[in-house]
Amino acid sequence: MITSFYNEEEIVKLGLKKYGKNVLISRKASFYSPELIQLGSNVRIDDFCILSGNISIGSYVHISAYTALYGKFGICIEDFVTISGRVLVYSQTDDYSGEVMTNPMVNPNLTRVTGGPVVFKKHSIIAAGCIIFPEVTIGEGAAIGAMSLVNKNLEPWSIYVGIPAKYLKPRSKKIIELEHLI
């Protein structure tokens, strides 16, 4: 039976570094350097997602449609994280000063790509259309409202919104209790 998700045999052929059980990957998702990508168990990656570079995804994670993860300097997504549609996560950025070239089609000696890891701590949730910049840690249980831009670390169990993302209010920790019911 053909479904919209890869079967076990097809997942093996993707060449991922590692993956767990109950992994659902859309046939329409794209992987670049799959040998650098590892997935835990109970992971779902929807249509038109792009995963590129050094990416580690824990268990019970959902990555919604049209999300792109660019992990040249590393992206770590811990357990129970939800990433809504059209989210962009960058662990790298080009130098826009005009002193060097940009884009991957020119000689790398003529570019200056910088960045650092992006970390999504356990139980964090990112709403639709957010952009996450390099060297950012989303604290445990933090929630980011739709269309927000994250350019600094976010505190645990807090809700953030806006451009740039600013603290709105605390977030309930009840989900920690619910985790034990799975």
pLDDT digits (tens, 9 = 90+) for 62-97: 999 999 999 999 999 999 999 999 999 999 999 999
For residue 145, count other CB atoms closer than 10 A to its CB.
18
**Could you tell me the two tokens for 72?**
């040249």
Quick one: residue 104, left, alpha or beta (phi over 0 = left, psi -120 to 50 = alpha)? alpha
Helix, strand, coil abundance in the chain, percent, nearest 5: 10, 40, 50
Domain 8-179: CATH superfamily, name plus number:
Hexapeptide repeat proteins (2.160.10.10)
Name which of 55, 53, 70, 59 is nearest 24 in CA terms.
Answer: 59
Q: What is the pLDDT of residues 121-163, one digit of tens each?
A: 999 999 999 999 999 999 999 999 999 999 999 999 999 999 9
